[in-house]
Chains A and B, each alone.
Chain A
Amino acid sequence: MKSLQRGQLKIANIIQDNGVLKGRGNIGRDIKRDKYLYLLLLPGIICLFIFRYIPMYGVVIAFKEYNIFAGIANSPWVGFLQFERLFRNPEFSRILRNTILISAYKLLWGFPAPIILALLLNELKNQRFKKFTQTVLYLPHFISWVIFAGIIVTFLNPTTGVINDIISYFGGRKIDFLANKRMFRSILVITDLYKGVGWGTIVYLAAISNIDPTLYEAAIVDGANRFRQVWHITLPSIRSVVVILLILSLGNILNAGFEQIFLLYNPLVYEVADIIDTFVYRRGLVESNYSLGAAAGLFKNVVALILIWSANHIVKSFGEDGLW
Chain B
Amino acid sequence: MKNSTNKFSKSNAFDIFNIFFMIILIILMVYPFWHIVMYSISDVRLAMRGGLFLWPRGFSLETYRVVLKNPVVLSGFRVSVIVTVIGTAFATFFTATTAYPLSKKRMRGRTFFSLYVLFTMLFNGGMIPTYLLVKSLGLIDTLWALILPNAIHAWNIFVMRNFFATIPESLEESARIDGASDLLIFFKIILPLSKAVLATIGLFLAVGYWNDFFSTILYIQSRNKWALQAVLREIVTNTEMAMSRQGMSAVHRQTITTQSVIMANIVIVTVPIILVYPFVQKYFVKGVMIGSVKG
Contacts and interface: CB of A to CB of B under 8 A. Distances in A.
Interface string A34-64: 1011111101110110111111111101000
Nearest to A13: B295
Given A48-B152, A145-B211, A165 B229 contact: no
Grouping DSSP codes into helix (H, G, I), strand (E, B) and loop, the A interface class, with mixed when no group exceeds half, is helix
B167 to A, nearest CB: 15
A51 B152 contact: yes
A39 B237 contact: no
A151 interface: yes
Interface stretch (B60-68, B81-89, B247-255, B284-292): B284-292
A41 B126 contact: no
Q: Which 6 A-B pairs have the closest CB atoms?
A: A55-B125, A44-B98, A58-B129, A297-B126, A144-B211, A36-B182
A40 B107 CA distance: 12
Contacts of B127: 277, 280-281, 284-285, 293, 297
Interface string B18-47: 110110011011101101100000000000
Contacts of A203: 288, 292-293
B241 interface: no
Given A36-B183, A37-B104, A39-B183, A59 B22 contact: no
A256 interface: no
Contact of A284 (B22, B121, B128): B128
Contacts of A153: 236-237, 262
Nearest to B211: A144
Interface stretch (A84-92, A99-107, A135-143, A179-187): A135-143
A72 B133 CA distance: 10
Interface in A1-27: 4, 7-11, 13-15, 17, 20, 24, 27
Contacts of B129: 54-59, 61, 294, 297
Nearest to B122: A305
Contacts of A125: 15
B108 A27 contact: yes
A157 B97 CA distance: 48
A55 B126 contact: yes
B105 A20 contact: yes
B132 A72 contact: yes
B50 interface: yes
Interface string A185-220: 000000000100010001100110110000000000
Residue in A36, A194, A280 with the greatest tally of chain B CB atoms within 10 Å: A36
A51 B149 contact: yes
B128 A297 contact: yes
Contacts of B30: 136
A150 B262 contact: yes
A285 B217 CA distance: 11
Interface string A251-294: 00000001100110000000000000100110011000010011
A13 B166 CA distance: 13
Contacts of B142: none
A95 interface: no
Given A52-B125, A55-B124, A58-B133, A43 B94 contact: yes
Interface string B135-169: 01100000000001101101001100110000000
Contact of A44 (B48, B97, B123, B265): B97
A170 B172 CA distance: 69
A8 B106 contact: no
A8 to B, nearest CB: 5
B118 A4 contact: no
A55, A258, A285, most chain B CB atoms within 10 A: A55
24 contacts: A11-B121, A15-B118, A34-B108, A37-B107, A43-B94, A45-B113, A47-B148, A55-B129, A56-B129, A71-B136, A136-B30, A142-B211, A143-B273, A144-B213, A145-B213, A146-B213, A146-B269, A147-B266, A147-B270, A149-B237, A155-B32, A165-B52, A203-B293, A263-B236
A41 B293 contact: no
